[in-house]
């Protein structure tokens, strides 16, 4: 076992991060890879010194390389993904829990969640979302189930920041209903011929490859899909003009069409027909990380509102002195802290090998609700300034509305929770039974 981990020796001391943080090279791998469940239960503190060190280093990179440019990138409705991702990749941040043999750090998922929470210090929602696609939305299935060839061809350069990836699941007629997608990938010799379209694709205009979910056979909707590594320079792929959104402006979003796109069948991730299952597993990491990213913006929204209302005076006294204001802020802070505890608990259980689908669905639901409630309540206390583009709270109000929609709408999270609780209506159960019978 190596006496020093690549987290420190290869990345943090030989790159920009090492120069600005002074991280030592004597921390052993055994010390770094802690058991989060045991530590949290014993001390009540979720993050170790090494987790906090990782967060501090990432925040310093963000303060120097990202936040000074956010306002400009928001105006341009695009950020330089290749440039930003290369800096993150060179520092080791794009493969924290990915296999070491493909350039990752091989650390437990607690470090990935620590990374995600620190991403929230970026002063907009679009860039953290784009980075999360690279780390925890489009690559988990490839890292776990992909062939050595696919990992070497697609995963390694993605971890290094040399390639940008997007996830191709949603379609105009199938967003939350993943099983209902219509894009097909039919075999023709040793190739797949892809036809169809994808919608709401984050990083779609800058991506070098897509993790594509497509129907590769007939039969049950849950057994006829595969995940495919698709190079985005393949003939037959057409991107439409950029989709204009009410928020997440710095993140480009594309609609993409496939017309007789030919790709080798060996680009299928894992077992053919297992794509739906792989994507459901991939969603758990996406939803957990996405919720962790929300924590810092919610904290900042409340903190900025406290600062503003303590200075702004109405009827001769600070707005904050109004009981309706400081009580509301206290309640919001309590709710955010509850969300934080849920995120940490789910992370600890996930590291321990537990099925966290129900808990992660609760977390995603709670995060989505708070991402609507907190900015809306805080914005009200800013008065007219809250209705301008001049402050962080109004940007958060626009950006974080997506959390209740993307990666599974609130209603889908409720359905998953009901499924685990055994409270779904019998009509839904009977439909699923008929589908199973039809597929046998």
Concerning whether 286 is annotated as a catalytic residue, the answer is yes
Q: Which residues pair with 195 in a beta bridge?
A: 184
Q: Work out the number of other CB atoms within 10 angstroms of the CB of residue 345.
A: 16
- Cα distances (Å, whole numbers) of residue 252 to 120, 194, 200, 202, 242: 18, 23, 9, 6, 7
- Cα distances (Å, whole numbers) of residue 345 to 44, 50, 111, 339: 11, 19, 14, 10
Pairing relationship of beta strands 225-231 and 313-314 according to DSSP bridges: unpaired
For tokens 């991403």, the residue is 119
The active-site residue, picked from 45, 286, 331, 335, is 286
Measured CA angle at 245 (ends 239, 247), to 5 deg: 130
Q: Name the packing angle between helices 323-351 and 109-119 (round to 10°).
A: 150
For tokens 């496939």, the residue is 258
Helix (H) or strand (E) holding 144: helix 140-145
Pairing relationship of beta strands 237-239 and 184-188 according to DSSP bridges: unpaired
Distance CA 373, CA 355 (A): 29
Distance CA 243, CA 127 (A): 16
Pairing relationship of beta strands 237-239 and 209-215 according to DSSP bridges: unpaired
Phi, psi of 330 (to 5 degrees): -65, -40
Q: Which residues are catalytic?
A: 286
């Amino acid at each position: 076992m190596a006496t020093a981990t690549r987290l420190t020796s290869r990345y943090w001391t030989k790159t920009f991060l090492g120069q600005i943080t002074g991280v030592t090279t004597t921390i052993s791998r055994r010390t770094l890879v802690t058991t989060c469940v045991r530590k949290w239960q014993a001390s009540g503190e979720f993050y170790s010194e090494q987790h906090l060190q990782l967060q501090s280093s990432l925040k310093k990179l963000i303060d120097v390389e990202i936040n000074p440019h956010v306002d400009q990138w928001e105006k341009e409705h695009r950020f330089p993904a290749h440039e930003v991702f290369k800096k993150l990749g060179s520092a080791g941040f794009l493969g924290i829990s990915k296999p070491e043999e493909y350039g990752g750090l091989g650390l437990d998922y607690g470090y990935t969640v620590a990374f995600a929470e620190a991403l929230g210090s970026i002063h907009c929602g679009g860039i953290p979302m784009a980075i999360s696609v690279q780390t925890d939305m489009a690559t988990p299935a490839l890292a776990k189930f992909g062939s050595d060839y696919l990992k070497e061809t697609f995963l390694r350069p993605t971890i290094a920041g040399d390639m940008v990836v997007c996830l191709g699941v949603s379609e105009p007629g199938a967003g939350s209903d993943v099983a209902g997608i219509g894009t097909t990938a039919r075999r023709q010799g040793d190739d797949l011929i892809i036809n169809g379209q994808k919608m709401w694709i984050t990083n779609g205009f800058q991506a070098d490859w897509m993790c594509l979910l497509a129907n590769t056979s007939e039969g049950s909707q849950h057994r006829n899909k595969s995940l495919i590594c698709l190079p985005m320079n393949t003939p037959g792929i057409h991107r439409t003009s950029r989709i204009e959104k009410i928020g997440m402006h710095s993140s480009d979003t594309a609609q993409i069409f496939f017309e007789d796109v030919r790709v080798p069948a060996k680009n299928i991730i894992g077992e053919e027909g297992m794509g739906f299952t792989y994507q459901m597993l991939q969603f758990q990491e996406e939803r957990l990380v996405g919720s962790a990213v929300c924590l810092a913006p919610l904290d900042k929204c409340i903190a900025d509102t406290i600062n503003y209302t303590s200075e702004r005076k109405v009827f001769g006294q600070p707005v904050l002195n109004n009981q309706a204001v400081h009580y509301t802020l206290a309640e919001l802070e309590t709710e955010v802290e509850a969300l934080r505890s849920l995120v940490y608990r789910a992370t600890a259980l996930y590291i321990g090998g537990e099925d966290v689908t129900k808990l992660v669905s609760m977390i995603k639901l709670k995060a989505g609700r708070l991402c609507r409630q907190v900015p809306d309540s805080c914005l009200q206390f800013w008065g007219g300034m809250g209705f301008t583009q001049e402050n962080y709270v109004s940007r958060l109000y626009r950006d974080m509305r997506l959390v209740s929609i993307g990666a599974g709408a609130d209603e889908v999270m409720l359905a998953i929770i009901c499924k685990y609780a055994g409270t779904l209506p019998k009509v839904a159960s009977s439909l699923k039974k008929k589908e199973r019978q039809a597929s046998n």
